[in-house]
Chain A
Amino acid sequence: MKQLHFKTNHDDHLIALLAALAVTIHIIESAFPSPLPGIKPGLANVITLFAFIQYGWKTALQVSLLRVVISSLLLGTFLSPTFLLSLSGALLSLLALVLTQLPFRRHPQHQPGAIGYAIIAAISHMSGQFLVAWYFFIPHPGLFKLLPIFITFAVLLGIVSGIITQFLVKSITQNLQLSDK
């Protein structure tokens, strides 16, 4: 019998590692009750953010798509409304990150740090989910009364995940420099 062989390179291993981390965080997080439906710390986005800052948007896109699909399969929400919300949030936040980075292409040393990107990602993640929820599931104008609360939490939790990402980036780059020497 002929065996299948996949040739994998370093990038594949990296993406698999990051996606596995993100899935783990996502699933642990989904076990905790939330004070308000729709508000979650979103710590899995730390991994996406880290991938984006350290390796660029292509890696981040693959990591976040894998995270959304695999964790929804494991949680049993694949193709359900929850999955759609998760997917739309992930895609919109990555799009916003790419658009934010665009003007800094020539001067990457002036681009925002982890906290700036995290705030952008959190706000766009929340608005993406909110618009999909409003357009497809609850098309009632009263829903917009909740938007200020959601955005407030998005900004606060974005700052928190930005700080975590910054620590992550710092410690990992320090370790890399150490191992290079």
Chain B
Amino acid sequence: MKSTLTFAKTSLNAADIIILFLACALTAWIYITFWFGNHTSGSAETLVLQVAQQPPEEYSLQDDRIIDINGPIGHSLIEIKQGKARFIHSACRNQFCVFHGWLTTPGDTTACLPNRISITLKGNLSEYDALAGGQ
């Protein structure tokens, strides 16, 4: 072939160079989309709240509200605002649940273990998280 580029005994023709260029462009586009874009597949729709030993309750994320929950060691306050949810207060010592901040995407979870309260956002898509299989 006339239009070949030879480098270290390997040769690339015009079609190879176009493919290489497209592959680099695709890679760059994927980085931009999935790392820097606000990509989420599906949006969170409900908040699933579970308090020790009780069946989970679901709250819609459409209605802004503050839920006051009584756990084994005291009150916890959970805020729902504009499709997001967070703990704003809990009776525990470490306050990990409060520092976790806003839950925004389906599958996001936080819990106040001392007060035995956990919240999870549920979307319209995934019913399960993963299937484990043998090697």
Binding site for B on A (CB under 8 A): 77, 80-82, 100, 104, 109-113, 115-116, 119-120, 123, 136-142, 144-145, 147-148, 151-152, 155, 158-159, 163, 166-167
Contacts and interface: CB of A to CB of B under 8 A. Distances in A.
Secondary structure class of chain A's binding surface, majority of residues: helix
A112 B15 contact: yes
Q: How large is the interface on B (under 10, 10 to 19, 20 to 34, 35 or more residues)?
A: 35 or more
Given A140-B129, A141-B125, A163-B10, 5 more contacts: A77-B135, A110-B15, A113-B15, A158-B23, A167-B10
Interface of B: 1, 9-16, 18-20, 23-24, 26-27, 30-31, 34-35, 39-42, 105-107, 125-126, 128-131, 133-135
Contact of B125 (A82, A100, A139): A139
A110 B10 contact: no
Contact of B35 (A112, A138, A148): A148
Contact of B20 (A115, A151, A152): A115
B105 A141 contact: yes
A140 B130 contact: yes
